[in-house]
């Protein structure tokens, strides 16, 4: 092009190149400072779409890892509670085995064992209420205080419990005054509470009651002279109290009246004996306890063998149950206990003693008896004692006793302080992946024949393990032995719950490992698309930096070219 002023094409060209180099260096600088190759869709539209999809999956995977770890933490919390339940059950097994031992004949001993047993039993229900971040899984939907879950919630703030049978627990019944109790009838009566619209209340007795209840101004009621104090602020309509009323009775003892005795005539060398070998008067006079009645009844079926020489008028006792009797028996009267204590004879010869006053009475005294004939033949006569049973009914005073309900009554109602609701579930749903399909419902299911009739679920409460029934006690050897079997089943149940938790935890740990590996590989793939190769980009930056400076220099040179035209004007 010639020498022109209006269009300096060299300057224009240099200017355009300068702008291009500035833009290139700007992009290169942006990539270097951000670390990303793609900072906007224009950098790489396809790469942006692909990498954003990968980013979404990576974030989902990383959250799934955290979700799974939260699941493990939750499981470990519940498994820790179950572990403590195991410890309690093992101790209860130990106590039951101790009570089942025959060395405990004193009721006080087993009562002392029962105290700890009952406390441990109650603690099983408290442990089953363990929650993780407000979620309960181990109590089968019923709290230790009796509140049941509704729509998956234990809502203390808004719950109003259902009408129930009330017992002495929970402060519902404040006391029973029996000072004026008449003991008119022996009966069991159900009393039902009703709150009226005007704020007053009334108690009604069951239709089969023999008398009529009177509602008291203090909230309770009276029946046959017994006064019941009740905290009506804790009651709801329809609550019931069941009471056993008993009448006084005197002690009744009945001796084992002798109904006869059988003589074995096969080896009889004598004619017969002329009177009963047992003293009926002694038997009838000493039935003052259940133990004495049992001792007297033990004489039934006793075989007595008498001998006589030829021409003798008396028969001498030779054997008792086939053994030679010891008429002294080595019994020291001073060592006998009070009236109703029993001392059994040694060596299998049944001679029963009691201490009556300062004397000892030999129950079923064995004695020498006379023969009917004046001159008996030489030989033996065997007699088998045949008695009617002895019985004893102890004295009983007038009594009033509350019949305790089978289950605890919930103390959660509108009168209690509000607390945040707890969630109840019997399975665990975890979002353990980046996709909808990766949501996993960990339902804890198992089966075993080693749990008796217990249900295969997560409920480890005393109630679910069959341990909190009124019949479960250690009062006798038989009760303690029965308790051992129930505790064994409960231990097996808790073992299965813990094993289920452990298996699920192991699965989650494998899942976390897999999620971590997948996230790592996807992150690497996303990095290869999205991230800047710093070394390569630094070369671009250097190139554009040099080109920018060259373009600026050329633009300056091109702007000087029109100056030469002024020489022509001179």
Instruction: Express each pLDDT in 506-548 by its tens digit.
Output: 999 999 999 999 999 998 998 888 878 788 778 888 888 888 8
Q: What is the pLDDT of residue 151?
A: 86
Please report, for the chain, the start and end positions of each structural domain, with discontinuous segments joined by +.
9-65+518-569, 67-140+426-511, 169-249+398-402, 254-393
CA distance 385 to 389: 12
Q: How many CA atoms lie within 13 A of 131 on its CB side?
A: 16
Strand partners, 356: 359
28-59 core/surface letters (b: 16 or more CB in 10 A; e: else): beebeeeebbbbeeeebeebbebbeebeebbe
Residues in the chain: 570
Q: What is the pLDDT of residue 194?
A: 93
State mean pLDDT over 165-176: 88
CA distance 121 to 491: 13
CA distance 195 to 203: 9
State the residue for tokens 């094409």. 9
DSSP 428-453: EEEE-SSSGGGEEEEE-----GGGTT
| Residue 377: count of CB within 10 angstroms of its CB | 16
Angle between helices 477-530 and 45-99 (to 10 degrees): 170
- 393 contacts: CB under 8 Å, gap ≥ 6: 249, 251, 252, 253
CA distance 553 to 166: 101
Is residue 414 scored above 50 in pLDDT? no
Instruction: Express each pLDDT in 253-268 by its tens digit.
Output: 887 766 666 666 555 5
Angle between helices 534-560 and 9-34 (to 10 degrees): 160
CA distance 521 to 513: 13
Determine if the pTM surpasses 0.75: no
Is residue 243 scored above 90 in pLDDT? yes
CA distance 457 to 245: 41
State mean pLDDT over 181-191: 94
Who has greater pLDDT, 34 or 367? 34
Q: What is the pLDDT of residue 173?
A: 92
Rounded to 5 degrees, what angle do the CA atoms 193, 195, 197 make?
160
CATH number of 67-140+426-511: 1.20.1330.10
Q: Which helix (H) or strand (E) holds 223?
A: strand 221-223
- Percentage, residues of the chain above pLDDT 70: 81
């Amino acid at each position: 092009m010639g020498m022109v002023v209006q269009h300096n094409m060299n300057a224009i060209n240099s200017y355009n190149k300068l702008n291009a180099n500035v833009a290139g260096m700007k992009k290169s600088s942006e990539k270097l400072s951000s670390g990303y190759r793609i900072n906007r869709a224009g950098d790489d539209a396809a790469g942006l779409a692909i990498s954003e999809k990968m980013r979404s999956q990576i974030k989902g995977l990383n959250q799934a890892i955290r979700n799974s770890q939260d699941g493990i933490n939750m499981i470990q919390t519940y498994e820790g509670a179950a572990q403590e339940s195991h410890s309690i059950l093992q101790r209860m097994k130990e106590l039951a085995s101790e009570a089942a031992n025959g060395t405990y004949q004193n009721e006080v001993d087993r009562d002392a064992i029962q105290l700890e047993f009952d406390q441990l039993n109650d603690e099983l229900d408290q442990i089953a209420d363990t929650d993780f971040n407000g979620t309960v899984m181990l109590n089968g939907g019923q709290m230790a205080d009796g509140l049941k879950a509704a729509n998956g919630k234990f809502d203390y703030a808004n719950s109003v419990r259902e009408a129930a049978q009330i017992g002495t627990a929970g402060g519902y019944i404040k006391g029973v005054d029996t000072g004026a109790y008449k003991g008119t009838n022996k009966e069991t009566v159900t009393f039902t509470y009703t709150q009226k619209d005007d704020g007053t209340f009334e108690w009604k007795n069951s239709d089969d009651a023999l008398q009529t209840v009177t509602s008291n101004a203090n909230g309770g009621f009276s029946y046959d002279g017994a006064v019941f104090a009740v905290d009506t602020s804790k009651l709801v309509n329809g609550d019931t109290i069941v009471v056993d009323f008993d009448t006084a009775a005197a002690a009744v003892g009945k001796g084992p009246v002798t109904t006869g005795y059988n003589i074995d005539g096969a080896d009889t060398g004598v004619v017969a004996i002329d009177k009963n070998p047992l003293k009926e008067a002694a038997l009838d006079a000493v039935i003052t306890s259940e133990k004495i009645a049992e001792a007297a009844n033990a004489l039934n079926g006793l075989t007595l063998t008498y001998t006589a020489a030829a021409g003798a008028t008396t028969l001498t006792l030779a054997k008792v149950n086939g053994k030679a009797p010891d008429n002294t028996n080595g019994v020291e009267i001073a060592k006998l206990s009070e009236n109703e204590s029993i001392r059994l004879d040694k060596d299998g010869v049944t001679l029963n003693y009691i201490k009556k006053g300062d004397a000892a009475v030999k129950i079923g005294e064995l004695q020498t008896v006379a023969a009917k004939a004046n001159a008996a033949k030489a030989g033996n006569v065997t007699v088998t004692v045949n008695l009617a049973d002895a019985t004893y009914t102890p004295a009983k005073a007038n009594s009033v006793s509350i019949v305790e309900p089978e289950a605890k009554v919930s103390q959660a109602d509108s009168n209690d302080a509000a607390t945040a609701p707890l969630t109840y579930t019997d399975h665990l749903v975890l979002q353990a992946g980046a996709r909808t399909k990766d949501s996993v419902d960990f339902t804890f299911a198992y089966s075993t024949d080693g749990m008796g009739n217990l249900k295969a679920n997560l409920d480890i409460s005393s109630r679910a393990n069959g341990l909190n029934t009124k019949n479960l006690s250690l009062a006798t050897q038989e009760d303690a032995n029965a308790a051992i079997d129930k505790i064994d089943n409960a231990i097996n149940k808790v073992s299965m719950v813990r094993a289920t938790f452990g298996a699920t935890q192991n699965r989650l740990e494998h899942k976390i490992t897999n999620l971590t590996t997948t996230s790592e590989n996807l992150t690497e793939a996303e990095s290869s698309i999205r991230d800047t190769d710093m070394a390569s980009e630094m070369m671009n930056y250097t190139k554009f930096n040099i080109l920018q400076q060259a373009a600026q220099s050329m633009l300056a040179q091109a702007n000087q070219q029109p100056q030469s035209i002024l020489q022509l004007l001179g």
